[in-house]
Amino acid sequence: MTVLLVLTTFFVFIVLDYAINRRRAIATAPSKSAPPVPVHTGAEYVEGFLVPGNLAYHNGHTWLLRERKNVVRVGADEFAAALAGKIDRIDLPKPGYWIRQGQKIVALFRNGEKVEMVSPTEGEVIAVNEDLGADPGLLRRDPYGKGWLLSIHVPDEESTGRNLVPKGLVRAWMTDTVSRLYGLQPRLAGGAAADGGRPVDDILAALPELSWRETASEFFLTTGKNG
């Protein structure tokens, strides 16, 4: 009986702690027009793509940044934004929705087709970037700033970084990613970069022989996956 009482008390404290942290996170969630979190610290260019050094990256080309205790901001990296190109619409999950790491959370629409991106972490959605509804082009123009996707309350911060690209391997990972893309169509190596070696706004626009949906889904790790 004593053991049961102790376990019950322990469980109640866990629930209360989660509820308090969640309430605080929601109370301080960014507004629709909240200024973007600065993410360009330690930024470098890898094969022409901007890769901020203070972000954590998922292999599906989403990123996360700790905003404050138990809250992270999530977005798409510049490679993903350039591959998505000129999209018509972005669908985001609603606040209150619980998502798992690797789960499809963002849908990008273009010319009647859809590709999805996965979450880099697990937790509860507490805010989304509603500006993307009126201007989906923000994702391409400013993927690390005004084109952010959503904020997530993560109860277990220690698990947030699991199954992400190790910090010391980010450069090699991005280099390999770009090489894989160029391998699909050699003409990309000469046509994907604008002046100064930077990627063009819409990498696949000039290559109709490559399926936008299939190519993007392959790099976003959503090919053949269920939501």
Considering the domain boundaries, does residue 200 fall inside one? yes
Considering the domain boundaries, does residue 145 fall inside one? yes
Considering the domain boundaries, does residue 98 fall inside one? yes
Position 19 scores a pLDDT of: 47
Residue 202: which CATH number?
A: 2.40.50.100
State how many domains the chain has.
1
- Tell me the β-bridge partners of 18: none
Higher pLDDT, 110 or 8: 110
The pLDDT tens digits for 80-114 are 999 999 999 999 999 999 999 999 999 999 999 99
Q: Quickly state the pLDDT bin for 174 (edges 50, 70, 90).
A: very high
Considering the domain boundaries, does residue 225 fall inside one? no
Position 209 scores a pLDDT of: 84
Domain of residue 102: give its range: 2-219
- Tell me the β-bridge partners of 104: 118
Q: Is the pLDDT of residue 201 over 60?
A: yes
In this predicted structure, which of 51-60, 100-109, 156-165 has the lowest mean pLDDT?
156-165
Inter-axis angle of helices 170-184 and 212-219, to 10 degrees?
A: 160
Q: In sequence order, what are the residues at sequence separation of 6 or more whose Cβ sits closer than 8 angstroms to the Cβ of residue 223? A: 214, 217
Q: Is the pLDDT of residue 122 over 80?
A: yes
What is the rounded distance in angstroms from the CA atom of residue 160 to the CA atom of residue 56? 10
Task: Concatenate the DSSP letters of all residues of the chain into one string.
Answer: -HHHHHHHHHHHHHHHHHHHHHHHHHHT---TTPPPPP--TT-EEETTEEE-TTSEE-TTSEEEEEEETTEEEEEE-HHHHHHH-S-SEEE-PPTT-EE-TT-EEEEEEETTEEEEEE-SS-EEEEEE-THHHH-TTHHHH-TTTTT--EEEE-S-GGGTTTTSPPGGGHHHHHHHHHHHHHHH-THHHHHSB-GGGPBPS-TTTT-TTS-HHHHHHHHTT-TT---
Considering the domain boundaries, does residue 224 fall inside one? no
Query: What is the share, in percent, of the chain residues with pLDDT greater than 70?
Result: 75
Considering the domain boundaries, does residue 227 fall inside one? no
Show the CA angle centred on residue 132, arms to residues 131 and 134, nearest 5°: 70
Model confidence, pTM: 0.81
Considering the domain boundaries, does residue 179 fall inside one? yes
Position 199 scores a pLDDT of: 85
What's the whole-number mean pLDDT along residues 13-29?
46
Position 185 scores a pLDDT of: 72
Considering the domain boundaries, does residue 226 fall inside one? no
Position 105 scores a pLDDT of: 96
Position 69 scores a pLDDT of: 93
